[in-house]
Structure 1
Amino acid sequence: MDLTNYRTLGRSGLKISPLTLGAMTFGEDWGWGSTPAEAEAIMSAYIEQGGNIIDTANVYTKGHSEKIIGDYLTKTDLRRDQLVLSTKFFCNLYPGDPNAGGSSRKAIISSLENSLRRLQTDYVDVYWMHAFDPFTPIEETMSALHDLITSGKVRYIAVSDTPAWKIAQSQLIANFRGWSAFAGLQIEYSLLERTVEGELIPMAQDLGLGIMPWSPLKGGILSGKYTRANKGEIQSGRNSLEGGTEFAEATYQLIDCLARIAKEKETTPASVALAWVISRPGVTSTLIGARTMDQLNQNLNALAVQLTADEIASLDKLSEPVLGFPIPFLRNRAAHMGQAGANVNGITSFAPPLLPQNISEIY
């Protein structure tokens, strides 16, 4: 697999690479990150290898990330329509102004106009709601986003970090009203964050949203940087935890397994962890962040990693999530609740004990 193995985002016709270049590291305005020149080199390398989607947000490096991308587009011969530009609204860049953030019509339109100015383009390909706004009716948000699509300033809309029930409500309202619906879902997903498998991922698969995981290395914990040997030591870099790092035994067992598989495949633990995420059901494209060219290349190497069924099973077992209600209840009761005595999808269900096996005995 490589960056030209394009997939469609959800039920849309938008074709994107299996790895999305995240631009949160573009700019040094947060005290870390790549310089504009370094960011431009990273974008060029990604695009030259067939990558076609760059993801940013209005808030990334205080808007500088969008400006760097816009400046890059004006300097190159790259055809604008060749690139899928993805940005987000929600975060407030103007403290003290309650209408400068969130998902109200006023905030959405203002945020988009500012993003278009910084990106130096007249449209955005994918416009993401960055997070859930409990203060704005979802009808207002979906109506405003639909208007932006009909105006030509946005091609597709998508959602990030929002409860499954609210996304389902959004899709239902959009379909009922004839409005544009969300095409994609960004969520944190990694071997150390699998609770999304309880509600969000099944919801996305059922409603046709393409899943775009962020933080597939769990903030660097699965990068190979942290091991038993350096337990408790302070590591360098923006993801390092103050006072040193020490994880639960289960985490070290997972890190050990990644290292073992990486050694056998002559690759890195980060590539193995990324390959696991890329292969998950429902995942369309995985977000990667790169502050340096070396980090970009390490991330891209994950596309060449093919995990065996046994390797996946080992990683799955070590990272099995504890899912909340009603998932455990449904799993335990499913055999009792439906098709008693039938074989469905290879599983034979049975009637609840102490109850009549023949329905005629009840009536």
Structure 2
Amino acid sequence: MSLDHYVTLGRSGLRVSPFCLGAMTFGEDLGWGSSVSESQKIIDRFIELGGNFIDTANFYTKSHSEKILGDHIGRHPARRDRLVLATKFSGNLYPGDPNGGGSGRKSILAACDNSLRRLQTDYIDLYWLHNWDVHTPIEETMAALEDLVRAGKVRYIGVSDTPAWKVAQANMLAQFRGWSAFIGLQIEYSLLERSVEQELVPLALEFGIGITPWSPLKSGALSGKYTRTSTEKPGRGAFVEPFLNEKTFTLVDTLQEIARAHETTVARVALAWVQGRPGVTSTIIGARLVSQLEDNVKALEVKLTSDDLARLDALTRPTFGFPQSMQPYFPAIHNGGTRVNGVQAPPSPFILQKGEKPY
């Protein structure tokens, strides 16, 4: 597979590349990230390789990320129109202003206009709710987003870092009222973050929402740079250091073995695992250098075997709480010892014997 093997995002007709270029590192305003010049080179190389999906947010690098994209892409309509440009709202850039962020109508409309100005475009292809605002009714948020879609400022909407029950509420509300619904679900997902498989992944599969994972390398912990014997100091240490422990090193050991068998790298194996998960449409990859981008894109060439997947699953399989913890018992209760959809249900201790009748 290559970057120009496009896929539709969720239950929509929006075609995106299987990897999405994350622009959170565009700009050095926070003391780390890519220079303007390097960011432009990364954008150009991503497009050259066939990528068409770029993701940013209104407050990434103090909004400089959006401006870099606007200066390099937005002001050139022929280039801009060939790309799927996504940004997010919710982040507050204005100290002391309670309406400067969040998901209320006043904030959303202002954030959208400001993003359009910085991106130097008159429409956003995919507008993400960045994270759930507990102070705003979801009806207000969805109504404001529908107004933006009807005004032509936004083409599609997505949701990020929000509980499954709230996403379900939002999309059912939209369906009943004839509004635009979320077509994308942006969540943290990696071999070290699989808790999303309890509620959010099943939600996406049921509603036909395309998953776009962020931090598939767990902030670099699965990049292959950090091992038990590594002396390299982690960049953005606060994000990485909590995960440099025995569990991670054991996983990296296995990733190294799999990488050697496939003549590839640890990072590519970890990315290939995420991209192959059920419901995943386009994985967000970030890069500070063009060389990092080129290296990570090669993960699309990695084909993991069933044995590879089983080894990784044995090390990282999450333990779910109620009601998923009851799941092994349900086939016996539901199917009465019969075979359904090719799966043989065990006999239930509660099942009636032949000749018995229920009370």
Q: Relative to structure 1, is the Cα distance of residues 35 and 325 closer, same or farther in structure 2, using a 3 angstrom cutoff?
A: same
Q: Distance in 2 between matches of 1:127 and 1:359?
A: 61
User: Residue 77 and residue 168 in structure 1: after superposition, are their counterparts in 2 closer, same or farther (change >3 A)?
Assistant: closer
Equivalent residue number for residue 25 of structure 1: 25
Deviation at 1:236, TM superposition (A): 3.9
Q: CA deviation at 1:78?
A: 4.3
Q: How does 1:102-181 map to 2 (within 5 A)?
A: 102-181=102-181
Q: Give the one of 341, 353, 357 matched to 2:353.
A: 357
1:85 equivalent in structure 2: 85
Count residues with an aligned counterpart: 359
Which of 338, 343, 357 is the equivalent residue of 2:334? 338
Contact 1:224 1:255 (8 Å CA) reproduced: yes
1:347 maps onto 2:339 in alignment: no
Q: Could you tell me which residue of structure 2 aligns to residue 185 of structure 1?
A: 185
Task: Give the C-alpha shift of residue 356 in structure 1.
Answer: 2.5
Residues 99 and 50 (structure 1), Cα distance of their counterparts in 2 relative to 1, 3 Å cut? same
What's the TM-score once normalised by structure 2's chain length? 0.96
Which whole-Å deviations, capped at 9, do the CAs of 1:20-58 have from their partners, x for residues lacking one? 000000000011111111100000000011100110000
1:145 deviates by 0.3
Contact 1:219 1:239 in 2 (8 A): no
* Aligned mate of 1:271, from 268, 271, 282: 268
Bigger shift: residues 353-362 or 159-168: 353-362
Counterpart in 2 of 1:194? 194
Which of 264, 284, 292 pairs up with 1:287?
284
Report SS of the residue matched to 2:219: coil
Q: CA RMSD in A?
A: 1.7
Task: Tell whether the 8 Å contact from 1:234 to 1:241 is kept in structure 2 after alignment.
Answer: no
Q: Identify the residue that residue 216 of structure 1 maps to in structure 2.
A: 216
Tell me the alpha carbon deviations over residues 86-130 of structure 1, each in whole angstroms, 9 at most, x when there is no partner. Answer: 000001000110001110011100000000000000000000000
Pick closer, same or farther for the CA change 1:357–1:350 going to 2, 3 Å.
Answer: farther
Which residue of the partner structure matches residue 98 of structure 1?
98
Relative to structure 1, is the Cα distance of residues 315 and 180 closer, same or farther in structure 2, using a 3 angstrom cutoff? same
| Greater shift in the superposed pair: 59-68 or 342-351 | 342-351
Query: For residues 37 and 310 of structure 2, what CA distance do their matches in structure 1 show?
Result: 42
The CA deviation string for residues 228-277 of structure 1, in whole angstroms up to 9 with x for no partner, is 213xx5614224669x6774433222110101111122211000000100
Q: What is the TM-score when the length of structure 1 is the normalising length?
A: 0.95
Q: Once the two structures are aligned, what percentage of the paired residues are identical? A: 58
2:205 maps to a residue whose letter is Q
Matched, 1:235 2:230: no
- 21-30 vs 346-355, greater mean Cα deviation: 346-355
Residue pairs, 1:238-317, within 5 angstroms: 238-239=236-237, 247-317=244-314
- Structure 2 residue ranges without an equivalent (≥5): none
Aligned to 1:68: 68
User: Any stretches of 5+ residues in structure 1 without a counterpart?
Assistant: none
The 3-state SS of whatever aligns with 1:291 is coil
Paired residue for 1:204?
Answer: 204
Please give the alpha-carbon distance, in whole angstroms, between the structure 2 residues aligned to 1:317 and 1:345.
25
Q: Distance in 1 between matches of 2:86 and 2:154?
A: 10
1:219 match: secondary structure: helix
Structure 1 distance, partners of 2:66, 2:218, is: 24
